[in-house]
Structure 1
Amino acid sequence: MITPLSHNDRQSPDPSRPQAIVIGAGVGGLSAGALLAARGYGVTIIDPLDAPGGRAYAHRQDGFVFDAGPTIITAPWMFEDLWRDCGGRLADDVQLLPCTPFYKIRFDDGAWFNYSGDRVAMEAEVARFDRGDVRGYRSFMEESRRIYEVAFEQLADQPFHSLTLTASVLARLVRLGGYRSVYSVVAKHFKNERLRTIFSFHPLLIGGNPFTATSFYCLIAHLEGRYGVHYAMGGTNALVQGIANLVRRNGGVIRLGQTVETIQTQGRRATGVRLTNGEVLAADIVISNGDPATTYGKLLRHHPRKRWTDAKIARGDYSMGLFVWYFGTNRRYDDVYHHTMLFGPRYKGLLSDIFGRQQLADDFSLYLHRPSAVDPNVAPAGGDAFYVLSPVPNLAGSTDWQAMAETYRQRIASHLASTLLPDLERHVVVSKVSTPLDFRDRLLSWQGAAFALEPKLLQSAWFRPHNRSEELDNLFLCGAGTHPGAGLPGVLSSARIVDGLVPAATTFTARSGGRSSP
């Protein structure tokens, strides 16, 4: 078990190494920093929070541990490869537990669907809803596999910096139907509306509207079926602590509670960063794990930009916001599963309210996370740790979250009490809420959007902020807002891309005699 890291590193990276500064200690920034430190860079990661994690931070109170954000781990081999390439072994630091089923899905009238990677069990579940759609399930999973083999296996770890490459790739993706939405592909295979909901909701896990997200994200069904859904004992933040340790084992430094105010530039080069306390740190390369809109619109507001101008940033379509209630109870609810999706009475109409009209609806759909179902370390004995997440409009909408947060929490609590968690409010002993205001103010997310740019076709691949900045030669981007997108596999892939783009450390050693060049 890894001890949580919340202290600030006091040492500095080896000054004889070329210097890399990483802005943000989220999973993408930590992973990029760990890979570069293993390659010989002196890595400094800077983050305003008091512990690593970013969106994958952990809240800890009175013996309860709440993952702040991602809770679903797919493609565990990507973490195994990260540990290997940084001189470690994942199994020595983190225990991953497979989840069976992946989720339990509850409809508003009380009907349930158990979603798993077992094809026989899944066909039986589909047949319970509509026997005629079993054939559609088989054909959908085959289409998901085909999309996965191109969009994930061939393209997710490739940089999209060339229009020529993009044109050739898009031709392949058009043949796969990338111009269609996830929902339209699912609807082609399933006639039953509930099954259409079940097999199309996955883009919401990465900030997309199933009715507008590119059908590339149909690959998630095959990805989950092939590699499973896993939980890290201690919470997803245990993975974060493990990656932070990989950074430190290879000589990197993580400076917490410090905020980058400006990326310093000279011509087309980033020369380092200036912190809000006035300190200036020099660097050979700079990597931003922050929201690209914040990176360009705030950290580079002084720099003349050709592509990511203020006007272009303002025209972007950003993901929905999230309302998250973290709560601990002094009793256990052992009939509640680890991962539960609770769909409300509307699907398309609710998503139109969130993404289109950007208004807070009276109804909602929820994701309920109960890690204490499998992990005794996240709650005191006899208690349960929960978080419940509701997609809501981002701050481009007009909701006054300071006034609305408690009212909305009470509405969610009432719904949970009437469905899955009887007498809930009487047993809550720890409570904390997070709204789009927290994403904006605490995580520095543009418009309080939980996943940066919405994953639509013309905001994907080449159309997304590039992993090598278009504005500066030695500025690189990783994380949810750049290619390939949000979700743990996406941000890990972005770190891999950056690692492949950054020149060898010896390039700078030969040029500067072992000293970083300002």
Structure 2
Amino acid sequence: MNKAVVIGAGFGGIASALRMKAKGYDVTLVDRQSELGGRARVFRRNGFVFDAGPTVITAPFLFEELFELFDKRIEDYIDIVPVEPWYKFAYPDGDTFNYGGTLEDTLQEIRRICPEDENGYLELLKESEAIFDIGFSQLADRPFHSLSSMVEQIPNLAKLRCYRNVWQLVCEHLKSEKLRQAFSIQPLLVGGNPFDTTCIYNLIHFLERKWAIHFAMGGTGALVQALGKLMEEEGINIQLNTTITSIETENKKATKVHCDSGEISCDTLVSNIDPKYLYSKLIKKEDQKLSARIKTKHAKLSMGLYVLYFGTTKKFEDIAHHTIWLGKRYESLLDDIFNKKVLADDFSLYLHRPTATDPSMAPEGCDSFYVLSPVPNLSAGTQWDDIREEYANKIIQALESSIMPGLSECVVEQFDMTPQEFSEDYLSVQGAGFSIAPTLTQSAWFRFHNKSEGIDNLYLCGAGTHPGAGLPGVLSSAKVVERLVPEVLTHPVKRKSHSTHRPSLSTSPELQSESVNVK
């Protein structure tokens, strides 16, 4: 049986391991952490449960597919429920914008803030759908390692005017500065600056509208556990606390991975680690094509992330499951983070309150939170150990003086992660939160290829590869790997075919008001 080794047990690696197992491979999944999940690991402190990383589930069918590969149902393993509102935006002047629910719910909120933007939003949604139909439905799970595949898409890209950035696209349709900010933040969810990210990534907006925003009961970590159980049932070998130190090759093929505890032979190799780290640290230069060396040296990285986790003895009932807390500056703040590489005194924040949906993630009467602040990556030279406490206090004070009065008096658990931990724990180059940035010149063929640029039997998945970061992106990258690796079953199992045109959970009014399992 063809032996496959998958390096990295984030969602991309887990999905690749399952898809390769379904194709008949003998799969070993290796990770340097003590638990599965990569950035989606879990912290547990005195009854509080904190998801370390991804918290927003869109396109839940991509998870459902992984269970269906083995004729199993996701709802037998975990409950995934819709969240409303999808996001609550909190502005510096005290105004708010509840985004999500039905289309009419969103239009009602838009009319309250800026009535003249109602038609503009409908036009924006229509254009986002057109981008989605190409960028996601047609291209997200297709390989882009050949230049011809990119050339074929030039007419579509030209038609979509993909040279525009997300901010330019949004401003063509909306006049309100508040709404412009609300509908341009999507690139930040995948590591991009709205003022620099190609408008192709505006497909995220329609993706949210099509499938809504969901949450796995028990947290994202519970979803990782469900997938871990599935892997164990299907005989995937999981090897944790194992760091890969090099890849051995022979005749341009990977034959072994060397790790801190020995070596593992392989016939096929899949990498779910940061591609810049892979090519710069694990693969010999002579085993790399020029294209890989150029990308490794010159690829522009995403911003870094500062994540503050805290538990409170008080419940903040007015705080939504997902809150976007916007500071007084927008474009100039993002310029500081992405271009000037300056850690500013101010910030904008993403606040996650999972106990709004699942109270079991904190002791009774308490709340569990994490707050994420986009910051420069480590190339800025910030000495996080010297300032982390001060930065945490600034965030607590900002929230307390605006939307969470009395916060500092009821915090009982508090810790953080900085770009330094992203570098050390995840081997993310410069502590970047999302690998390389989603610019036009770092998308599709220009991104790190899913088929290795140099080693014939090495494949890549994850945030730094096509189609990009975010849960839909990394799960789709595993589908690309599945398309690329050969079938090895003597009698392939007939599996259900899947389409990105599945019925939307968000389009049914009766589903809007209930907590339901993914169907």
* Alignment coverage as a number of residue pairs: 492
Aligned partners of 2:387 and 2:199: how far apart in 1? 35
User: Which of the residues 289, 298, 305 maps onto 1:315?
Assistant: 298
Following TM superposition, by how much is the alpha carbon of 1:252 offset from its aligned partner in structure 2, in angstroms?
0.6
Instruction: Specify whether residues 463 and 272 from structure 1 end up closer, same or farther in structure 2 by C-alpha distance, changes over 3 A only.
Output: same
In the alignment, which residue of structure 1 is the partner of 2:329? Answer: 346
Aligned partners of 2:346 and 2:356: how far apart in 1? 27
User: Which of the residues 154, 172, 195 maps onto 2:156?
Assistant: 172
Query: Is the contact between residue 325 and residue 387 of structure 1 (CA under 8 Å) also seen in structure 2?
Result: yes
Following TM superposition, by how much is the alpha carbon of 1:38 offset from its aligned partner in structure 2, in angstroms?
2.3
Residue segments in structure 1 that go unaligned for 5+ positions in a row:
1-16, 510-518
Query: Is the contact between residue 292 and residue 453 of structure 2 (CA under 8 Å) also seen in structure 1?
Result: no
Aligned partners of 2:6 and 2:451: how far apart in 1? 14
Aligned partners of 1:117 and 1:457: how far apart in 2? 31
Query: Is the contact between residue 395 and residue 448 of structure 1 (CA under 8 Å) also seen in structure 2?
Result: yes
Aligned partners of 1:113 and 1:51: how far apart in 2? 37
In the alignment, which residue of structure 2 is the partner of 1:402? Answer: 385
In the alignment, which residue of structure 2 is the partner of 1:253? Answer: 237
Aligned partners of 1:459 and 1:82: how far apart in 2? 28
- 1:374 aligned onto 2:352: no
- 1:412 aligned onto 2:395: yes
In the alignment, which residue of structure 1 is the partner of 2:127? Answer: 143
Deviations 1:353-396 (A, max 9, x none): 00000110111000100001111221111111000000000011
- 1:297 aligned onto 2:280: yes
Aligned partners of 2:290 and 2:356: how far apart in 1? 48
In the alignment, which residue of structure 2 is the partner of 1:478? Answer: 461
User: Which of the residues 243, 247, 266 maps onto 2:250?
Assistant: 266
Matched to 1:198, the amino acid is A
Query: Is the contact between residue 369 and residue 387 of structure 1 (CA under 8 Å) also seen in structure 2?
Result: yes
Query: Is the contact between residue 270 and residue 286 of structure 1 (CA under 8 Å) also seen in structure 2?
Result: yes
Deviations 1:128-186 (A, max 9, x none): 22111111001000001111011100000100022112111122112111111011000
Deviations 1:74-99 (A, max 9, x none): 01111111210133211111101101
Aligned partners of 1:305 and 1:237: how far apart in 2? 35
In the alignment, which residue of structure 1 is the partner of 2:313? Answer: 330
In the alignment, which residue of structure 2 is the partner of 1:127? Answer: 111
Aligned partners of 1:162 and 1:41: how far apart in 2? 25
User: Which of the residues 263, 286, 292 maps onto 1:280?
Assistant: 263
User: Which of the residues 219, 226, 236 maps onto 2:203?
Assistant: 219
Residue segments in structure 2 that go unaligned for 5+ positions in a row:
493-519
Q: What does 1:376-455 correspond to in 2, within 5 Å? A: 376-455=359-438
Aligned partners of 1:265 and 1:429: how far apart in 2? 51
Range with bigger deviation, 49-58 or 118-127: 118-127
Following TM superposition, by how much is the alpha carbon of 1:248 offset from its aligned partner in structure 2, in angstroms?
1.6
Range with bigger deviation, 383-392 or 262-271: 262-271
Matched to 2:103, the amino acid is R
In the alignment, which residue of structure 2 is the partner of 1:241? Answer: 225
Matched to 1:65, the amino acid is V
Following TM superposition, by how much is the alpha carbon of 1:419 offset from its aligned partner in structure 2, in angstroms?
1.4
Instruction: Specify whether residues 304 and 36 from structure 1 end up closer, same or farther in structure 2 by C-alpha distance, changes over 3 A only.
Output: closer
Following TM superposition, by how much is the alpha carbon of 1:311 offset from its aligned partner in structure 2, in angstroms?
5.3
Aligned partners of 2:277 and 2:70: how far apart in 1? 29
Following TM superposition, by how much is the alpha carbon of 1:423 offset from its aligned partner in structure 2, in angstroms?
2.0
SS across alignment from 1:505: coil
In the alignment, which residue of structure 2 is the partner of 1:515? Answer: none
Aligned partners of 2:300 and 2:9: how far apart in 1? 25
Aligned partners of 1:110 and 1:460: how far apart in 2? 37
User: Which of the residues 434, 437, 440 maps onto 1:457?
Assistant: 440
